[in-house]
Chains A and B, each alone.
Chain A
Amino acid sequence: MSQASTQKLVAVAILALLLLIWQFLPPALGVPKYIVPTVSDMLTELGRMYRRENLIANVASTAIFTVLGFAIGSALGAAIGYLLGLSAFWERVLSPYILALQIAPKVAFAPLFIMWFGYNSTPKLLVTVLIVFFPVLVNVLAAMKTVDRDMVNLARAYSLNRWEIFKKVEFPSTLPNLMAGLRIASTLAVIGVTVGELVGGNTGLGFLISYGGGQANAAMVFNAIVLLTIIGIVLYSVLVWAEERLLHYIPKKDH
């Protein structure tokens, strides 16, 4: 058997083992199902959520705002990262503010956004945009500062103008860092949306978590967490897929 198929087999075996332990260990230890629900409890609850709690609409809302917040936040982060990267002056003037905002816990802004915009989708979108913005900005800015000066000089010697130098040398040079920033941002986007929905939403998986928590329905909370994780994994996988295609010219390291 090849090594790859052995790996797959072991991975599936571990998953099966985990699910079995989850199904049988808590009842065996006498843990009640409102504390730790079993796998079958969760599946039953998932069916009920589908019929009674508008599960599809809630998943769709969270997924859409995750992607939307990720797209807007990373576009803004990249745009400002590149602009600051082109101007050493503004980068120096604004860097203390960027650092302060980067350190400030973004999710703590959620109640403020609800006070300003009310109980609708705007606050959760804003939290997501804000949380996604910084890792992208910081990665892009760091990459712009480390573009090979000799490469830029070569482009200048070849009579490229400022815009062409950006387009043909600087932007492609920063692509690996931009992609790394986007990958980090994709995982944060799920957190942003969840917090927005937890604090003041009436739709989405974050809302189902606080609703289920209020009813002591642990199975509902677990299900929502699993679905949030799946949304995050899908977004992350899309980015990894895109990165492998965009950065095909970087030789892969063997592990």
Chain B
Amino acid sequence: MALEFTGVTKTFTLPDGKDLTAVRDINFTVGQGEFVSVVGPSGCGKSTILSMTAGLYQPTSGAVRVSGEVVTKPNPHVGFMLQKDLLLPWRTIIKNVEFGLESRGVPKAERRERALFELDRCHLKGFEDHYPYQLSGGMRQRAALARTLAIDPAIILLDEPFSALDAQTKLLIQNSFAETIQEAGITTLLITHDLSEAVIMSDRVLVLSERPGTVMREIPIDLPDRAHPLKRRQMPEIHQHASEIFTLLRLDQRAA
């Protein structure tokens, strides 16, 4: 298994001394090369799952395993991406892509070679020497994906990477990410609040409950063309799955 959560609970102590349980008894696995999305109401601990996978902090109880090994510290085999591209504005695009490799003893020439390869794969050839401010929002997210892939991670965590993009750019970038991820054959965990995004991009969707978050349901998406979300968007099954999740999250009742 590429990623495995077994009985994971995370409790934070707030500044006023009270305890807050963000997630409770989370169990799920993500297989090699699988694309899994996590959806749930806001504040259900989606980002807590991501931070524990990245090893930024540890579960209060239970275990998180990446490639079978328990995560106890920032994990070099996990790449993550947020809504913000987190490109360093003072570095050129290629130097940004190389950033993740610099502390890993990769020689300079190889760093450059890998960065160029990833930039090409993310359709950013020719933009190596641009600075982030010279790129559009969508291109910057692609540059962030190139940086994430450059470290050759066992798994990538995407935390709402498309939510800051305008509607049309979002469709194109979803498609381009899906293609690149398929081509790289990389295991992916996508955290999102966009239900249809979860359905069109994933092999499987995990639906979390309200806080303390726990996995309510796993919904397999047995549809072709995972690498082409634009094609999948046309399929009638997509709407069925999305409305199933919609019902699970009781969004209609919460709107009342």
Given A249-B89, A249-B90, A249-B131, residue A154 in contact with residue B80 (CB < 8 A) = yes
Q: CB distance A150 to B55 under 8 Å?
A: no
Q: CB distance A172 to B86 under 8 Å?
A: no
Which B residues are CB-close (under 8 A) to A154?
80, 86
Bound state CA distance, A168 and B54, in angstroms? 20
Q: CB distance B55 to A157 under 8 Å?
A: yes
State the main secondary structure of chain A at its contact with B: helix
Which A residues are CB-close (under 8 A) to B133?
249-251
Query: Size range of the interface on B?
Result: 20 to 34
Interface positions, chain A 98-129, Cβ under 8 Å from B, are: none
Which A residues are CB-close (under 8 A) to B151?
158
Which A residues are CB-close (under 8 A) to B90?
172, 175, 249
- A148, CB-defined interface residue at 8 Å: yes
- A156, CB-defined interface residue at 8 Å: yes
Query: Size range of the interface on A?
Result: 10 to 19
- A151, CB-defined interface residue at 8 Å: yes
Q: CB distance A148 to B86 under 8 Å?
A: yes
Interface positions, chain B 38-81, Cβ under 8 Å from A, are: 54-56, 74-76, 78-80
B68, chain A: closest CB distance, angstroms: 20
Which A residues are CB-close (under 8 A) to B33?
none
Bound state CA distance, A148 and B82, in angstroms? 13
Q: CB distance B86 to A158 under 8 Å?
A: no
Bound state CA distance, A172 and B82, in angstroms? 21
Which B residues are CB-close (under 8 A) to A7?
none
Q: CB distance A150 to B82 under 8 Å?
A: yes
Which A residues are CB-close (under 8 A) to B89?
249-250
- A146, CB-defined interface residue at 8 Å: no
> Nearest B residue to A159 by beta-carbon distance?
B103
- B7, CB-defined interface residue at 8 Å: no
B74-114 interface code vs A (CB 8 A; 1 in, 0 out): 11101110101010111100000001101110000000000
Q: Of the candidates A157, A169, A250, which one forms a contact with B54 in the assembled complex, judged by CB atoms under 8 Å apart? A: A157
A157-171 interface code vs B (CB 8 A; 1 in, 0 out): 111110010001100
Q: CB distance B88 to A169 under 8 Å?
A: yes
Q: Of the candidates B75, B76, B86, B104, which one forms a contact with A150 in the assembled complex, judged by CB atoms under 8 Å apart? A: B86
Interface positions, chain B 107-155, Cβ under 8 Å from A, are: 131-133, 151
Bound state CA distance, A153 and B82, in angstroms? 11
Which B residues are CB-close (under 8 A) to A164?
102-103
Q: CB distance A151 to B100 under 8 Å?
A: no
Bound state CA distance, A215 and B250, in angstroms? 88
Bound state CA distance, A150 and B102, in angstroms? 18
Which A residues are CB-close (under 8 A) to B103?
158-161, 164
Q: CB distance A150 to B74 under 8 Å?
A: no
A-B contact pairs, 10 of them (CB 8 A): A148-B84, A150-B82, A153-B56, A157-B54, A157-B78, A158-B99, A160-B102, A168-B102, A169-B88, A250-B133
A interface vs B, CB < 8 Å?
148, 150-151, 153-154, 156-161, 164, 168-169, 172, 175, 249-251
Please list the 5 inter-chain residue pairs (A to B) with the smallest Cβ-Cβ separation, ordered nearest first. Answer: A158-B100, A251-B133, A249-B131, A159-B103, A160-B103
